[in-house]
Amino acid sequence: MEINRHDRSPDGRRAPRTITPLATPSVDGTGVLRFPLQHPELHQVVKAALDEDGAFNDLTTIATVVSDRRARATLVARESGVVCGVPLALEAFRVLDPKVAIRVDVEDGTRVDSATPVLVLSGHARGLLSAERVALNFMQRLSGIASLTQRFVDAVAGTKVKILDTRKTLPGWRALEKYAVRAGGGVNHRFDLASAVMIKDNHLAAVEGDVALAVKRARDMSPPGVKVEVECDRIDQVRAALDANADIIMLDNMPPGLMRECVALVNGRAVVEASGGVTLGTVRAIAETGVDWISIGALTHSPPAMDLALEFN
């Protein structure tokens, strides 16, 4: 099911909304954004967060709000960015109040301006209050990743470059954080250590720097079809990786001039990835060297949280 962008029908009425889908794989064959967790997994993640927060024994709310009090609230973006994490917020509110009514105004992957309503909720006041922090924590983190990714994607617009993430994710959050990267228009690098071969400097040190030997051993040990990537910080390593028929060559912390030389040397015989210390100030110059991919650890290891709030009416 494709994410509904809330287009209007020819008669001017808003088309029916759909909830952000729960399906696997995370991205289908056409690149449509998909939420990576099936509902039982989603529930488990959210329930654990609610338990951690003591949401089922919220002393303040129990003491101050009568049990049958109802309320309306709006989850609002207080700054511009890309929304992500809607399914997690929905689940948090529904666990605390199974009969809560929720209108989804903005789906995952949607750019918003400041003061844009994301969710409109109506239900038991206690449930809304006790779920508030968990819902916001999920969405602020994931929306922050999506928003930062979108800024990098925008910065290289008009080039052929794809913006990729890395494995620098919070333990236990990888599927969600890589989903947030896709929501921001980025592309996922390998999901884990078993997904692809990446021969780095420490691996090369174990074979006395012999790139050809490292690639051969990787080919011999890996299942058919697994891509082999070699991290290079010198042009002679790039040449050795090419001679060994590496699928992907990573240019690690190279200046743009040297990157350009390496791209010319590779000449389309492998995918060329740039990585290391990439910032919004440098990413455009890196993209213009002709590399295919730019991987950025900061997308997931240090994104600023997006400012979202739950405002009670």
Q: Catalytic site residues? A: 133, 168, 200, 231, 252
Quickly list DSSP for 41-110.
HHHHHHHHHHHHTTGGG-HHHHHHS-TT-EEEEEEEESS-EE---HHHHHHHHHHH-TT-EEEE-S-TT-
Give the β-pairing of 248-252 and 271-275: parallel
Question: 241: which 2 tokens?
Answer: 């990786």
Question: 198: which 2 tokens?
Answer: 């990446």
Q: What's the 3-state SS for 100-119? A: CEEEECCCCCCEECCCEEEE
As to burial, measured by CB atoms within 10 angstroms (0-12 exposed, 13-18 middle, 19+ buried), residue 101 is: exposed
User: How many CB atoms lie under 10 A from the CB of residue 48?
Assistant: 12
CB 250 within 8 A of CB 237: no
Tokens 């994104």 appear where? 303
Q: Count Cα atoms within 13 angstroms, Cβ side, for 195.
A: 7
What does the angle CA 177 – CA 181 – CA 184 come to, to the nearest 5 degrees?
135
